[in-house]
Amino acid sequence: MLPIAYRQTQRFLLAYLVYMLAATFCPPSASAQLGKPEGLYYKSWAIVIGVENYLLAPKIPGAIEDAKAVAQTLRRLGFDEVVELYDKDASVRRLQQTLSDFLPRKVGRQDRLLFYFVGHAGVTQDLDGKELGYLVPWDAQIGNVSKSVTFEQLKEFSRRSASKHTLFFLNAAVRGWEVSAAQPLSLEGRLAPEDDTERRAVQVLTAGDRGEPLSQENGRSLFVQALIDGLNGMADRNKNGWLMASEVGDFVQQQVLERSKGIQHPLFVQLEGDGDTVLIEGRKAAFLSGAVPQSPAERQQAAKIKFEQAFALLQSGKSSEEALELLNAALEYDSTFGDAYVLKSYVLLEVLPNLDGALSAAKLAMQYAPKNPDSQYTLGLIYEKRGQYGEAEQAMREALVVNPNYRDVYFSLGTLYADAIKDQPKSVEAFTRYLELGGNHARARAAVTQPAIPTKP
Protein backbone atom coordinates (compact mmCIF):
# COMPACT_ATOMS: atom_id res chain seq x y z
CA MET A 1 0.00 0.00 0.00
CA LEU A 2 1.21 3.50 -0.80
CA PRO A 3 -0.60 5.83 1.63
CA ILE A 4 -0.77 9.54 1.01
CA ALA A 5 2.76 10.80 1.52
CA TYR A 6 3.51 14.05 3.30
CA ARG A 7 4.85 15.50 0.06
CA GLN A 8 1.35 15.07 -1.39
CA THR A 9 -0.29 17.08 1.39
CA GLN A 10 -1.05 20.04 -0.83
CA ARG A 11 -2.74 17.87 -3.48
CA PHE A 12 -4.84 16.12 -0.84
CA LEU A 13 -5.82 19.40 0.76
CA LEU A 14 -6.75 20.90 -2.60
CA ALA A 15 -8.98 17.93 -3.44
CA TYR A 16 -10.50 18.17 0.02
CA LEU A 17 -11.12 21.88 -0.44
CA VAL A 18 -12.91 21.26 -3.73
CA TYR A 19 -15.21 18.77 -2.03
CA MET A 20 -16.04 20.90 1.00
CA LEU A 21 -16.45 24.32 -0.46
CA ALA A 22 -18.28 23.93 -3.78
CA ALA A 23 -21.67 25.58 -3.23
CA THR A 24 -23.96 28.00 -5.05
CA PHE A 25 -26.70 30.27 -3.81
CA CYS A 26 -29.61 32.14 -5.40
CA PRO A 27 -30.35 35.34 -3.45
CA PRO A 28 -32.80 37.95 -4.77
CA SER A 29 -31.92 40.09 -7.76
CA ALA A 30 -30.45 43.57 -7.49
CA SER A 31 -33.76 45.10 -8.50
CA ALA A 32 -35.36 43.72 -5.34
CA GLN A 33 -32.91 45.49 -3.00
CA LEU A 34 -35.15 47.78 -1.01
CA GLY A 35 -33.98 48.98 2.40
CA LYS A 36 -31.06 47.48 4.27
CA PRO A 37 -30.11 43.80 4.03
CA GLU A 38 -30.21 41.58 7.12
CA GLY A 39 -26.43 41.26 6.94
CA LEU A 40 -23.85 43.60 5.51
CA TYR A 41 -24.69 42.82 1.88
CA TYR A 42 -27.64 41.61 -0.12
CA LYS A 43 -25.37 39.69 -2.44
CA SER A 44 -21.65 39.17 -3.00
CA TRP A 45 -20.27 38.96 -6.53
CA ALA A 46 -16.84 37.89 -7.77
CA ILE A 47 -15.43 37.96 -11.29
CA VAL A 48 -12.37 35.69 -11.49
CA ILE A 49 -10.31 36.00 -14.68
CA GLY A 50 -7.31 33.82 -15.52
CA VAL A 51 -5.47 33.93 -18.84
CA GLU A 52 -2.77 31.29 -19.23
CA ASN A 53 -2.73 30.29 -22.92
CA TYR A 54 -2.73 33.59 -24.78
CA LEU A 55 -3.58 33.72 -28.45
CA LEU A 56 -0.94 36.36 -29.25
CA ALA A 57 1.16 36.72 -26.10
CA PRO A 58 3.48 34.39 -24.12
CA LYS A 59 1.93 31.70 -21.95
CA ILE A 60 1.70 32.20 -18.16
CA PRO A 61 2.04 28.72 -16.61
CA GLY A 62 -0.18 28.10 -13.60
CA ALA A 63 -2.38 31.15 -14.10
CA ILE A 64 -5.65 29.21 -14.33
CA GLU A 65 -4.78 26.97 -11.39
CA ASP A 66 -4.12 30.08 -9.27
CA ALA A 67 -7.35 31.71 -10.41
CA LYS A 68 -9.38 28.61 -9.56
CA ALA A 69 -7.83 28.48 -6.10
CA VAL A 70 -8.91 32.08 -5.51
CA ALA A 71 -12.42 31.31 -6.78
CA GLN A 72 -12.74 28.39 -4.35
CA THR A 73 -11.62 30.57 -1.48
CA LEU A 74 -14.16 33.27 -2.35
CA ARG A 75 -16.99 30.73 -2.42
CA ARG A 76 -16.02 29.59 1.01
CA LEU A 77 -16.07 33.19 2.23
CA GLY A 78 -19.73 33.39 1.20
CA PHE A 79 -19.58 35.00 -2.24
CA ASP A 80 -22.90 34.03 -3.78
CA GLU A 81 -22.04 34.45 -7.45
CA VAL A 82 -18.50 33.60 -8.61
CA VAL A 83 -18.14 34.03 -12.39
CA GLU A 84 -14.99 32.37 -13.76
CA LEU A 85 -13.56 33.42 -17.13
CA TYR A 86 -10.53 31.49 -18.40
CA ASP A 87 -8.51 31.80 -21.62
CA LYS A 88 -10.94 32.11 -24.58
CA ASP A 89 -13.75 33.20 -22.26
CA ALA A 90 -11.57 36.17 -21.24
CA SER A 91 -11.53 37.79 -24.69
CA VAL A 92 -11.57 41.57 -24.96
CA ARG A 93 -15.18 41.48 -26.14
CA ARG A 94 -16.28 39.30 -23.20
CA LEU A 95 -14.47 41.44 -20.63
CA GLN A 96 -15.90 44.65 -22.03
CA GLN A 97 -19.39 43.12 -22.04
CA THR A 98 -18.94 42.00 -18.42
CA LEU A 99 -17.88 45.46 -17.28
CA SER A 100 -20.26 47.55 -19.38
CA ASP A 101 -23.41 45.40 -19.38
CA PHE A 102 -23.51 42.29 -17.16
CA LEU A 103 -22.28 43.76 -13.87
CA PRO A 104 -24.16 47.10 -14.11
CA ARG A 105 -27.39 45.14 -14.66
CA LYS A 106 -26.79 42.63 -11.88
CA VAL A 107 -24.96 44.34 -9.02
CA GLY A 108 -27.07 46.32 -6.56
CA ARG A 109 -26.30 49.22 -4.24
CA GLN A 110 -26.10 46.99 -1.16
CA ASP A 111 -23.83 44.42 -2.82
CA ARG A 112 -20.16 43.53 -2.56
CA LEU A 113 -18.09 43.08 -5.74
CA LEU A 114 -14.62 41.55 -6.06
CA PHE A 115 -12.64 41.44 -9.31
CA TYR A 116 -9.59 39.12 -9.63
CA PHE A 117 -7.31 39.09 -12.68
CA VAL A 118 -4.20 37.08 -13.50
CA GLY A 119 -2.53 37.57 -16.85
CA HIS A 120 -0.30 39.97 -18.71
CA ALA A 121 -0.48 43.67 -17.87
CA GLY A 122 1.45 46.76 -18.74
CA VAL A 123 1.87 50.47 -18.25
CA THR A 124 1.86 53.12 -20.95
CA GLN A 125 1.54 56.91 -20.93
CA ASP A 126 -1.23 59.13 -22.14
CA LEU A 127 -0.73 62.35 -24.11
CA ASP A 128 -0.03 64.25 -20.89
CA GLY A 129 2.68 61.80 -19.81
CA LYS A 130 0.55 60.29 -17.06
CA GLU A 131 1.05 56.57 -16.40
CA LEU A 132 -1.83 54.41 -17.61
CA GLY A 133 -2.03 50.76 -16.59
CA TYR A 134 -3.85 48.12 -18.61
CA LEU A 135 -4.78 44.43 -18.47
CA VAL A 136 -4.26 42.18 -21.51
CA PRO A 137 -7.24 39.97 -22.53
CA TRP A 138 -6.78 36.54 -24.11
CA ASP A 139 -6.91 37.75 -27.73
CA ALA A 140 -4.84 40.95 -27.35
CA GLN A 141 -1.14 41.64 -27.72
CA ILE A 142 1.09 43.14 -25.04
CA GLY A 143 1.38 46.83 -25.83
CA ASN A 144 -1.86 47.04 -27.83
CA VAL A 145 -3.73 49.30 -25.42
CA SER A 146 -6.68 49.73 -27.80
CA LYS A 147 -7.59 46.05 -27.36
CA SER A 148 -6.83 45.93 -23.65
CA VAL A 149 -8.79 46.81 -20.53
CA THR A 150 -7.28 50.04 -19.24
CA PHE A 151 -7.31 51.22 -15.67
CA GLU A 152 -9.29 54.23 -16.83
CA GLN A 153 -12.01 51.85 -17.98
CA LEU A 154 -11.91 50.04 -14.64
CA LYS A 155 -12.10 53.36 -12.80
CA GLU A 156 -15.05 54.45 -14.91
CA PHE A 157 -16.73 51.12 -14.23
CA SER A 158 -16.18 51.48 -10.49
CA ARG A 159 -17.68 54.99 -10.56
CA ARG A 160 -20.81 53.73 -12.32
CA SER A 161 -21.10 50.54 -10.28
CA ALA A 162 -23.86 50.59 -7.70
CA SER A 163 -21.98 48.25 -5.35
CA LYS A 164 -21.30 49.52 -1.85
CA HIS A 165 -17.85 47.95 -1.76
CA THR A 166 -15.66 47.10 -4.78
CA LEU A 167 -12.31 45.34 -4.45
CA PHE A 168 -9.79 44.59 -7.22
CA PHE A 169 -7.11 41.88 -6.81
CA LEU A 170 -4.69 42.15 -9.75
CA ASN A 171 -2.09 39.39 -9.93
CA ALA A 172 0.24 41.46 -12.07
CA ALA A 173 3.14 43.86 -11.58
CA VAL A 174 1.47 47.07 -12.66
CA ARG A 175 0.55 50.56 -11.54
CA GLY A 176 -1.29 53.51 -13.06
CA TRP A 177 -4.14 54.28 -10.68
CA GLU A 178 -4.87 57.89 -9.87
CA VAL A 179 -5.70 57.51 -6.21
CA SER A 180 -7.16 59.71 -3.51
CA ALA A 181 -5.29 60.50 -0.31
CA ALA A 182 -4.86 57.56 2.04
CA GLN A 183 -7.66 57.11 4.58
CA PRO A 184 -7.74 55.19 7.87
CA LEU A 185 -9.41 52.01 6.65
CA SER A 186 -9.57 49.47 9.44
CA LEU A 187 -12.66 49.06 11.61
CA GLU A 188 -10.52 47.98 14.55
CA GLY A 189 -11.53 49.66 17.79
CA ARG A 190 -14.41 51.72 16.45
CA LEU A 191 -17.50 51.97 18.58
CA ALA A 192 -20.00 51.43 15.79
CA PRO A 193 -18.52 49.27 13.01
CA GLU A 194 -21.94 48.72 11.48
CA ASP A 195 -22.10 52.44 10.64
CA ASP A 196 -18.71 52.41 8.97
CA THR A 197 -19.62 49.48 6.75
CA GLU A 198 -22.13 51.74 4.98
CA ARG A 199 -19.33 53.94 3.65
CA ARG A 200 -18.47 53.38 0.00
CA ALA A 201 -15.10 51.85 -0.88
CA VAL A 202 -13.22 51.06 -4.08
CA GLN A 203 -9.89 49.37 -3.27
CA VAL A 204 -7.08 47.84 -5.29
CA LEU A 205 -4.35 45.32 -4.44
CA THR A 206 -1.73 44.50 -7.10
CA ALA A 207 0.87 41.72 -6.92
CA GLY A 208 3.80 44.05 -7.51
CA ASP A 209 4.98 47.40 -8.71
CA ARG A 210 5.59 48.26 -12.34
CA GLY A 211 8.05 45.92 -14.09
CA GLU A 212 8.87 43.77 -11.06
CA PRO A 213 9.34 40.00 -11.52
CA LEU A 214 6.56 38.01 -9.85
CA SER A 215 8.01 35.44 -7.48
CA GLN A 216 6.95 31.83 -7.12
CA GLU A 217 7.22 29.50 -4.15
CA ASN A 218 7.02 25.74 -4.62
CA GLY A 219 5.97 26.32 -8.22
CA ARG A 220 3.00 28.55 -7.35
CA SER A 221 2.43 32.30 -7.35
CA LEU A 222 3.73 33.80 -4.10
CA PHE A 223 1.10 36.54 -4.32
CA VAL A 224 -1.75 34.02 -4.57
CA GLN A 225 -0.42 31.95 -1.68
CA ALA A 226 -0.21 35.02 0.55
CA LEU A 227 -3.61 36.23 -0.64
CA ILE A 228 -5.34 32.92 0.12
CA ASP A 229 -3.60 32.71 3.51
CA GLY A 230 -4.89 36.19 4.30
CA LEU A 231 -8.43 35.45 3.11
CA ASN A 232 -8.45 32.25 5.16
CA GLY A 233 -8.15 34.38 8.30
CA MET A 234 -4.42 34.78 8.80
CA ALA A 235 -4.69 38.50 7.99
CA ASP A 236 -6.96 38.93 11.03
CA ARG A 237 -3.95 39.26 13.29
CA ASN A 238 -5.78 40.42 16.39
CA LYS A 239 -8.21 37.49 15.98
CA ASN A 240 -11.31 39.60 16.57
CA GLY A 241 -13.24 37.79 13.85
CA TRP A 242 -13.47 40.72 11.40
CA LEU A 243 -11.42 40.49 8.21
CA MET A 244 -11.14 43.72 6.25
CA ALA A 245 -9.69 44.41 2.80
CA SER A 246 -7.17 46.78 4.39
CA GLU A 247 -5.97 43.98 6.68
CA VAL A 248 -5.56 41.62 3.73
CA GLY A 249 -3.66 44.32 1.84
CA ASP A 250 -1.25 44.89 4.75
CA PHE A 251 -0.79 41.14 5.27
CA VAL A 252 -0.08 40.40 1.58
CA GLN A 253 2.33 43.32 1.31
CA GLN A 254 4.31 42.14 4.34
CA GLN A 255 4.29 38.45 3.39
CA VAL A 256 5.27 38.91 -0.26
CA LEU A 257 7.97 41.44 0.55
CA GLU A 258 9.56 39.12 3.11
CA ARG A 259 9.19 35.86 1.20
CA SER A 260 10.44 37.39 -2.09
CA LYS A 261 13.47 38.78 -0.23
CA GLY A 262 12.52 42.34 -1.12
CA ILE A 263 12.17 42.02 -4.89
CA GLN A 264 8.36 42.18 -5.10
CA HIS A 265 6.32 45.05 -3.67
CA PRO A 266 2.52 44.63 -3.76
CA LEU A 267 0.55 47.89 -3.86
CA PHE A 268 -2.67 48.51 -1.92
CA VAL A 269 -4.55 51.73 -2.61
CA GLN A 270 -7.89 53.33 -1.83
CA LEU A 271 -9.28 54.41 -5.17
CA GLU A 272 -12.50 55.94 -3.91
CA GLY A 273 -14.35 56.51 -0.63
CA ASP A 274 -13.21 55.98 2.95
CA GLY A 275 -14.95 52.69 3.69
CA ASP A 276 -13.40 49.25 3.90
CA THR A 277 -14.61 46.05 2.24
CA VAL A 278 -15.61 43.42 4.79
CA LEU A 279 -14.43 39.94 3.84
CA ILE A 280 -15.39 38.13 7.06
CA GLU A 281 -17.98 39.66 9.36
CA GLY A 282 -17.48 39.30 13.11
CA ARG A 283 -19.50 40.43 16.10
CA LYS A 284 -19.61 44.11 17.00
CA ALA A 285 -18.67 43.37 20.61
CA ALA A 286 -15.52 41.62 19.45
CA PHE A 287 -14.03 44.96 18.42
CA LEU A 288 -14.01 46.09 22.02
CA SER A 289 -13.92 43.11 24.35
CA GLY A 290 -12.62 40.10 22.44
CA ALA A 291 -15.12 38.07 24.47
CA VAL A 292 -15.34 34.29 24.13
CA PRO A 293 -18.27 33.29 21.86
CA GLN A 294 -21.30 32.24 23.89
CA SER A 295 -24.30 31.39 21.71
CA PRO A 296 -24.34 28.22 19.56
CA ALA A 297 -24.16 30.30 16.38
CA GLU A 298 -21.19 32.28 17.70
CA ARG A 299 -19.38 29.11 18.74
CA GLN A 300 -19.97 27.53 15.32
CA GLN A 301 -18.61 30.66 13.63
CA ALA A 302 -15.56 30.64 15.91
CA ALA A 303 -15.01 26.95 15.12
CA LYS A 304 -15.19 27.67 11.40
CA ILE A 305 -12.59 30.44 11.68
CA LYS A 306 -10.20 28.20 13.65
CA PHE A 307 -10.69 25.43 11.06
CA GLU A 308 -9.97 27.78 8.15
CA GLN A 309 -6.82 29.05 9.86
CA ALA A 310 -5.64 25.48 10.40
CA PHE A 311 -6.37 24.63 6.77
CA ALA A 312 -4.41 27.66 5.56
CA LEU A 313 -1.39 26.66 7.66
CA LEU A 314 -1.39 23.13 6.28
CA GLN A 315 -1.94 24.23 2.71
CA SER A 316 1.03 26.59 2.90
CA GLY A 317 3.26 23.95 4.55
CA LYS A 318 3.64 25.96 7.73
CA SER A 319 3.46 24.88 11.39
CA SER A 320 1.60 21.56 11.56
CA GLU A 321 1.60 21.64 15.37
CA GLU A 322 -0.14 25.03 15.36
CA ALA A 323 -2.64 23.72 12.80
CA LEU A 324 -3.47 20.80 15.09
CA GLU A 325 -3.94 23.19 18.02
CA LEU A 326 -6.34 25.25 15.91
CA LEU A 327 -8.31 22.13 14.95
CA ASN A 328 -8.57 21.14 18.61
CA ALA A 329 -9.76 24.66 19.44
CA ALA A 330 -12.37 24.44 16.68
CA LEU A 331 -13.66 21.17 18.14
CA GLU A 332 -13.82 22.70 21.61
CA TYR A 333 -16.15 25.34 20.19
CA ASP A 334 -18.19 22.81 18.18
CA SER A 335 -17.80 19.14 19.07
CA THR A 336 -20.01 18.12 16.10
CA PHE A 337 -17.81 19.82 13.45
CA GLY A 338 -17.37 16.81 11.18
CA ASP A 339 -14.98 18.33 8.65
CA ALA A 340 -12.63 19.35 11.46
CA TYR A 341 -12.48 15.69 12.57
CA VAL A 342 -11.72 14.69 8.96
CA LEU A 343 -8.79 17.07 8.71
CA LYS A 344 -7.55 16.18 12.19
CA SER A 345 -7.58 12.47 11.34
CA TYR A 346 -5.51 13.15 8.22
CA VAL A 347 -3.00 15.30 10.13
CA LEU A 348 -2.55 12.58 12.76
CA LEU A 349 -2.18 9.96 10.03
CA GLU A 350 0.36 11.59 7.74
CA VAL A 351 1.69 14.87 9.12
CA LEU A 352 2.09 14.30 12.86
CA PRO A 353 1.77 10.50 13.03
CA ASN A 354 -0.39 9.22 15.89
CA LEU A 355 -2.40 6.21 14.69
CA ASP A 356 -4.53 5.89 17.80
CA GLY A 357 -5.45 9.57 17.73
CA ALA A 358 -6.05 9.40 13.99
CA LEU A 359 -8.40 6.44 14.40
CA SER A 360 -10.41 8.19 17.13
CA ALA A 361 -10.76 11.34 15.01
CA ALA A 362 -11.68 9.31 11.91
CA LYS A 363 -14.48 7.48 13.72
CA LEU A 364 -15.91 10.83 14.88
CA ALA A 365 -15.59 12.10 11.31
CA MET A 366 -17.67 9.11 10.16
CA GLN A 367 -20.29 10.05 12.76
CA TYR A 368 -20.50 13.79 12.06
CA ALA A 369 -19.49 14.02 8.38
CA PRO A 370 -20.83 10.85 6.73
CA LYS A 371 -21.39 12.61 3.40
CA ASN A 372 -17.76 13.67 3.14
CA PRO A 373 -16.00 10.81 1.30
CA ASP A 374 -12.72 11.71 3.00
CA SER A 375 -14.23 10.50 6.27
CA GLN A 376 -14.31 6.94 4.95
CA TYR A 377 -11.17 7.28 2.83
CA THR A 378 -8.96 8.49 5.66
CA LEU A 379 -10.37 5.80 7.93
CA GLY A 380 -9.41 3.23 5.30
CA LEU A 381 -5.86 4.60 5.12
CA ILE A 382 -5.59 4.38 8.90
CA TYR A 383 -6.82 0.77 8.96
CA GLU A 384 -4.39 -0.10 6.18
CA LYS A 385 -1.45 1.34 8.11
CA ARG A 386 -2.57 -0.62 11.19
CA GLY A 387 -2.54 -3.85 9.16
CA GLN A 388 -6.34 -4.24 9.28
CA TYR A 389 -6.70 -4.83 5.56
CA GLY A 390 -10.28 -6.08 5.50
CA GLU A 391 -11.49 -3.01 7.40
CA ALA A 392 -9.39 -0.80 5.10
CA GLU A 393 -11.03 -2.27 1.99
CA GLN A 394 -14.51 -1.83 3.45
CA ALA A 395 -13.91 1.81 4.44
CA MET A 396 -12.53 2.71 1.01
CA ARG A 397 -15.46 1.00 -0.68
CA GLU A 398 -17.80 3.08 1.49
CA ALA A 399 -15.98 6.22 0.32
CA LEU A 400 -16.83 5.23 -3.26
CA VAL A 401 -20.49 4.90 -2.33
CA VAL A 402 -20.42 8.58 -1.33
CA ASN A 403 -18.36 9.61 -4.37
CA PRO A 404 -18.15 6.91 -7.10
CA ASN A 405 -15.64 9.00 -9.07
CA TYR A 406 -13.07 9.55 -6.30
CA ARG A 407 -9.94 8.76 -8.30
CA ASP A 408 -7.44 8.60 -5.41
CA VAL A 409 -9.51 5.97 -3.64
CA TYR A 410 -9.27 3.66 -6.66
CA PHE A 411 -5.49 4.03 -6.69
CA SER A 412 -5.28 3.24 -2.97
CA LEU A 413 -7.52 0.22 -3.46
CA GLY A 414 -5.32 -0.95 -6.34
CA THR A 415 -2.20 -0.90 -4.19
CA LEU A 416 -4.06 -2.42 -1.23
CA TYR A 417 -5.24 -5.37 -3.33
CA ALA A 418 -1.80 -5.82 -4.92
CA ASP A 419 0.44 -5.47 -1.86
CA ALA A 420 -1.60 -6.58 1.12
CA ILE A 421 -4.65 -8.60 0.07
CA LYS A 422 -2.85 -10.26 -2.90
CA ASP A 423 -5.88 -10.13 -5.19
CA GLN A 424 -4.46 -9.33 -8.62
CA PRO A 425 -7.76 -9.18 -10.59
CA LYS A 426 -9.28 -6.71 -8.11
CA SER A 427 -6.07 -4.67 -8.17
CA VAL A 428 -6.18 -4.41 -11.97
CA GLU A 429 -9.88 -3.52 -11.83
CA ALA A 430 -9.23 -0.69 -9.35
CA PHE A 431 -6.22 0.62 -11.28
CA THR A 432 -8.22 0.51 -14.52
CA ARG A 433 -10.96 2.65 -13.02
CA TYR A 434 -8.31 5.04 -11.67
CA LEU A 435 -6.89 5.50 -15.17
CA GLU A 436 -10.38 5.91 -16.68
CA LEU A 437 -10.95 8.83 -14.30
CA GLY A 438 -7.82 10.60 -15.55
CA GLY A 439 -5.09 9.20 -13.28
CA ASN A 440 -1.64 8.70 -14.77
CA HIS A 441 0.50 7.07 -12.08
CA ALA A 442 3.13 4.77 -13.60
CA ARG A 443 2.28 1.92 -11.25
CA ALA A 444 -1.34 1.88 -12.35
CA ARG A 445 -0.37 1.93 -16.02
CA ALA A 446 2.09 -0.91 -15.51
CA ALA A 447 -0.43 -3.02 -13.59
CA VAL A 448 -3.06 -2.66 -16.31
CA THR A 449 -0.74 -3.24 -19.30
CA GLN A 450 1.43 -6.10 -18.00
CA PRO A 451 0.51 -9.54 -19.40
CA ALA A 452 -1.36 -11.93 -17.16
CA ILE A 453 0.72 -14.64 -15.48
CA PRO A 454 -0.15 -17.96 -17.16
CA THR A 455 -1.46 -20.70 -14.93
CA LYS A 456 0.41 -24.00 -14.76
CA PRO A 457 -1.18 -26.85 -16.74
For residue 34, pLDDT beyond 70? no
For residue 294, pLDDT beyond 70? no
For residue 154, pLDDT beyond 50? yes
Taking residues 112-141, report their average pLDDT.
89
Confidence of residue 207 (pLDDT cuts 50, 70, 90): very high
Predicted confidence at residue 284, as pLDDT, reads 54
Predicted confidence at residue 182, as pLDDT, reads 38
Predicted confidence at residue 27, as pLDDT, reads 40
Predicted confidence at residue 88, as pLDDT, reads 97
Predicted confidence at residue 189, as pLDDT, reads 36
Predicted confidence at residue 299, as pLDDT, reads 80
For residue 287, pLDDT beyond 70? no
Confidence of residue 318 (pLDDT cuts 50, 70, 90): low
Predicted confidence at residue 184, as pLDDT, reads 40
Which range among 103-112, 120-129, 341-350 shows the weakest confidence by mean pLDDT? 120-129
pLDDT, mean over the chain: 82
Which range among 48-57, 138-147, 279-288 shows the weakest confidence by mean pLDDT? 279-288
Highest mean pLDDT among 28-42, 228-242, 355-369: 355-369
Contact between residue 293 and residue 299 where contact means Cβ atoms under 8 Å apart: yes
Q: Which CATH architecture has domain 41-286?
A: 3-Layer(aba) Sandwich (3.40)
Q: What is the pLDDT of residues 405-452, one digit of tens each?
A: 999 999 999 999 999 999 999 999 999 999 999 988 999 999 898 765
Predicted confidence at residue 178, as pLDDT, reads 55
Q: What is the pLDDT of residues 102-112, one digit of tens each?
A: 998 899 888 99
CATH class for the region spanning 296-448: mainly alpha
How many Å from the N-terminal Cα to the C-terminal Cα in the chain? 32
Predicted confidence at residue 350, as pLDDT, reads 84
Confidence of residue 304 (pLDDT cuts 50, 70, 90): confident
Q: In percent, how much of the chain has pLDDT > 70?
A: 82
pTM higher than 0.85, yes or no? no
Contact between residue 369 and residue 339 where contact means Cβ atoms under 8 Å apart: yes
Q: Where are the domains of the chain?
A: 41-286, 296-448
Confidence of residue 68 (pLDDT cuts 50, 70, 90): very high
Q: Give 68 or 7, the one with higher predicted confidence.
A: 68
Q: In percent, how much of the chain has pLDDT > 90?
A: 52
Confidence of residue 313 (pLDDT cuts 50, 70, 90): confident
Confidence of residue 297 (pLDDT cuts 50, 70, 90): confident
Predicted confidence at residue 65, as pLDDT, reads 95
Q: Give 185 or 13, the one with higher predicted confidence.
A: 13
Q: What is the pLDDT of residues 229-278, one digit of tens each?
A: 999 988 986 677 888 899 999 999 999 999 999 999 999 988 888 788 99
Predicted confidence at residue 40, as pLDDT, reads 81
Highest mean pLDDT among 112-121, 160-169, 198-207: 112-121
Predicted confidence at residue 195, as pLDDT, reads 54
Taking residues 181-194, report their average pLDDT.
41
Give the closest residue to 200 by CA, choosing from 244, 243, 153, 163: 163
